[in-house]
Structure 1
Amino acid sequence: MLRACVIDFGKGWERHLPLVEFSYNNSYHASIKAAPFDALYVQIRQRLQAARDRQRSYANIRRKPLEFQVGVHVMLKVSPQKASRRTQKCPQYFHVSNLKKCLSDESLVIPMKELRLDDKLNFVEEPVEVMDQEIKQQRQIRIPIVKVRWNSKRGP
């Protein structure tokens, strides 16, 4: 094919080389029973599918089927990450694997009115008394350990 193009195009044959390559890659070859481009594309697609299947099987080994009844309390596991435009616009969408069943004790629930939070939404708790003190010696470092009672709504 190249010999025919060199003869046909003469001195400017190198300018037509991409066209020759294109026609060669898209023409049917009896030995592989397909065009080289198609054969390569099919092979790549099969390898990608095999990799996807392998990764899916690894993930499914540890995955448990989740079913939640209406009215059951769940916790949403959220990890800090850079917010993309999609998550900024649609924060209400998440994968069900991020839900965990909430096993809480109703007696420990604190009404929101009683909570004191600072501007960063941290609990505001103040120490009431020092209950115990000791100094732990590690090699050449002395570490003071202090047990403190806090005025917490969650209990002492």
Structure 2
Amino acid sequence: MKTAQSQQKGYADNRRKELEFGVSNHVSVKVTPMKGDMRFGKKNKLSPRVIGPFEIIEKIGILAYRVTLPLMLAGVQNVFHISMMRKYMSNPSHVLNHEPLQLDPNMSLEERPIQILDMHETRL
């Protein structure tokens, strides 16, 4: 058992990246949504994705950081382990088109496609 643990530890240590972030750095966070949970924009269960960038506001211990989250993620804990964080590489071409939301009086939103990117026809 000790030999197997030693081999696994050596395997993990060789692939581990030494990361450390400072306060006010920007990071992306790897999340895995639960079934029926639309907070991260995916409908599929257990489909991991990276969201962000978020600013680090506090270092908690050696391996945990507190980040600022937008209001739409208010129900999510804002403390993340370093293994869930990725360094955010700023890119000038990373510009998101933001259009104001048109909400119905009952506070619902109808999703409509903005642009069709690809189309093909299948004949049977």
Q: Give the TM-score of the pair, scaled to structure 2.
A: 0.41
Relative CO higher for 1 or 2, CA cutoff 8 Å, sep ≥ 6? 2
More helix by share: 1
More strand by share: 2
- The structure number with the bigger radius of gyration is 1
